[in-house]
Amino acid sequence: MNKNKFLLLFILCCALPLLLAKLVLELGWFNPGSSSRGDWLSQEVYLLPDAGKVPKHWRIVVVAEQCATPCQQALHTVKQLYIGLGRKQNQVQPVLLGQASLSDYPMFTQAETPAALSADLQQHIVLVDQRGLALLKYPLPAQAEQMAATAKAIRADLMKLMNYDRTSV
């Protein structure tokens, strides 16, 4: 193989992957953000006060002013999700943002609804970090059968967040 043929093959091997990547991006075949199952919030919303140095780094917040049937299903689902975390429970705190009786849910804490709460967070389950920043939201499903899929999505995203978290817990 002569020198020119080798140089041409070398350049082709380097340029071809770059050209294919550009083609994939230009034609829209790449779906960014497909690894998370919840909806990322488009703006910064501090839903809860800063937790400081407490070990509860992540909070699963059920946002519902009036706790009707979907809210009760969400509370039960988040309770089951919390119990299913096992040894990782010490990193998560379930919170209810609204008015409801929490006698059946001793692991929940109840927080005051902020005055500047946007309407698009109502009737949602929200993942909140230690600083109180809301990250992902999941709508409360109307049917109980859809709640299992929502819980699975929350668990998958929460486990990713906990595994990739590099802040001091």
- Token look-up 């049937």 returns 69
Domain definitions of the chain by residue range: 1-30, 39-164
Position 50 pLDDT exceeds 90: no
Please give the mean pLDDT across all residues of the chain.
Answer: 86
Q: What pLDDT, in 10s, does the model give residues 91-144?
A: 999 998 888 778 888 888 888 877 777 778 888 999 999 888 899 999 988 888
Q: What is 39-164's CATH number, 2.60.40.420, 3.40.50.11260, 3.40.30.10, 3.30.1360.200?
A: 3.40.30.10
Which whole number is the average pLDDT over 15-24? Answer: 92
Structure tokens at 118: 């946007």
Position 17 pLDDT exceeds 90: yes
139 forms bridges with which residues in the sheet?
Answer: 124
Please report, in angstroms and rounded to a whole number, the separation of the first and last CA atoms in the chain: 59
Question: Looking at residue 126, what is its pLDDT?
Answer: 93
Banded pLDDT at 153 (limits 50, 70, 90): very high
Which whole number is the average pLDDT over 70-80? Answer: 90
Question: Looking at residue 97, what is its pLDDT?
Answer: 87
Position 169 pLDDT exceeds 60: no
- Token look-up 């709640």 returns 147
